[in-house]
A = this chain, B = another copy of it.
């Protein structure tokens, strides 16, 4: 399935996002369902990286009557990722995590102690990546960068011990 969703998500209110979402589903011949809305909603509300399982649990809490299945989560996330409505990062141990697509691309700092994820953007690096790709005659379509280490908090805690 090939979809083509030109969209930015964050920084808009939920009702607008939802409207956007419905339009985009239609445009791609996909149906609007309560399950899909809830997935969008939880991603919007939590505003952070969620694993499929976490997302599943959140929806179970938020809408137990929906009785959503984990398979639907996986299927929908795959679909939304193809549609570029969500993006994912894959961490070595923890598996894939998803978040709403952002109008701005960003990279991640991941605390190896507590798992916290700090987002950042750096134009200098972005620019350099393009140059490097060009040098290697490589046609860049995307990239991901993770910095691993200890967040401020965990550094403090370590000192105390």
Contacts and interface: CB of A to CB of B under 8 A. Distances in A.
A161 to B, nearest CB: 15
B136 A120 contact: yes
B112 A141 contact: yes
Which DSSP category, helix, strand, loop or mixed, fits chain A's interface? strand
B144 A146 contact: yes
Contacts of A118: 136, 138
Interface residues of A, number: 35
A149 B139 contact: yes
6 contacts: A88-B92, A92-B96, A140-B149, A141-B148, A142-B147, A142-B149
Interface of A: 88, 90-92, 96, 109, 111-112, 118, 120, 122, 124-125, 128-129, 132-133, 136-152, 155
